[in-house]
Structure 1
Amino acid sequence: MAELVLCTGLDPDDPESVTLVVTAAEGRTPGEDAVARLGAYGYEGDGCLYFVRTDGWAERRLDGELLTVDIVAYPAVLKGLEADADRFPERSAADPEALRLLRVSARVSPGTYARAADSTAVLTTPAGTPAEEVVAEARSGGSRPLILAPRPE
């Protein structure tokens, strides 16, 4: 199951910075599978992959302590991933042309969330691996996160 966590230590240039991380496993659900495979569209950066905001983004909402993240992409991206766009009937809140691939929610500290970077990191995980293990592996350089920008304005 996809998970959402706030953590520190993922940015080697600023180890105290707070990062919002979504973990997704291939083969679990159509949404997790699509999100886990988005890295194929990422371009390489400093120890990570960046997803172009014209292809998709992360939409975040905080309601009290409940943080909800929607990961969205345009149908053309799904075509390239050989994913059936019909399996994603929900739409982006920012652009009705973009499809919601995955929604993940978790209770977080509003104070910690306020310190989080605007971008959202996606880490791909084997099914059943707890988010804490996936984050620990990323901290040690064992995996590269896919970085999703906020929704376009």
Structure 2
Amino acid sequence: MAELVLCTGLDPDDPDSVTPVVIVAEGRAAEEDAVARLGLYGYEGDGCLYFVQTDGWAERRLEGGLLTVDIVAYPVVLKGLDDAAADRFPERSAADPEALRLLRVSAQVSPGTYARATDITAVLTAPAGMPAEQAVAEARSGGSLPLILAPRPE
């Protein structure tokens, strides 16, 4: 099952910043597979993969201490992903009904810590069963490239 954690120190230029990180595992669920494969469309730079905002984004909301992140993309993006047909994702983006919600993940967080969060959301793909902390540690050491999702374009 996908996990959501808040991590500090992922941005070497701003070590005090907080980044929401979604950890997915390929082969567990269609939702996680689709999000993991979004990296195929990312462009590499600065030790990560950037996903173009016009293709998809991360929608976040904090209610009390519950942070919810929705990863959304337009149906055309899914055409190039194996086993990720748009009809498998009936839920829509809260911001744009044309975009499909691929994954929703929630976690209890400290509102004070979340207040320091950057606008980006990172996605890490890890083997099934790998603890979130280990996946983040591997990304910090350069073992895997995180996929960076921005908020919805204005």
TM-score in terms of structure 1 length:
0.97
Equivalent pairs, count: 153
Q: Match for residue 45 of structure 1?
A: 45
Find out whether 1:97 has 2:112 as its counterpart: no
Q: Match for residue 11 of structure 2?
A: 11
Deviations 1:34-68 (A, max 9, x none): 00111000001100010000000000000000000
Structure 1: how far apart are the matches of 2:43 and 2:114?
Answer: 27
- Percent identity reads 86
Task: Give me the CA root mean square deviation.
Answer: 0.8
Aligned-pair CA distance for 1:16: 2.1
Aligned-pair CA distance for 1:75: 0.5
Find out whether 1:107 has 2:108 as its counterpart: yes
Deviations 1:86-112 (A, max 9, x none): 110000001101000000000000010
Aligned-pair CA distance for 1:13: 2.1
Unmatched runs of 5 consecutive residues or more in structure 1:
none
TM-score in terms of structure 2 length:
0.97
Structure 1: how far apart are the matches of 2:113 and 2:93?
Answer: 26
Which stretches of structure 1, 4 residues or longer, exceed 4 Å deviation after superposition? none
Structure 2: how far apart are the matches of 1:121 and 1:85?
Answer: 23
Structure 2: how far apart are the matches of 1:28 and 1:43?
Answer: 25
Q: Match for residue 134 of structure 2?
A: 133
Unmatched runs of 5 consecutive residues or more in structure 2:
none
Aligned-pair CA distance for 1:19: 0.8
Structure 2: how far apart are the matches of 1:119 and 1:36?
Answer: 17
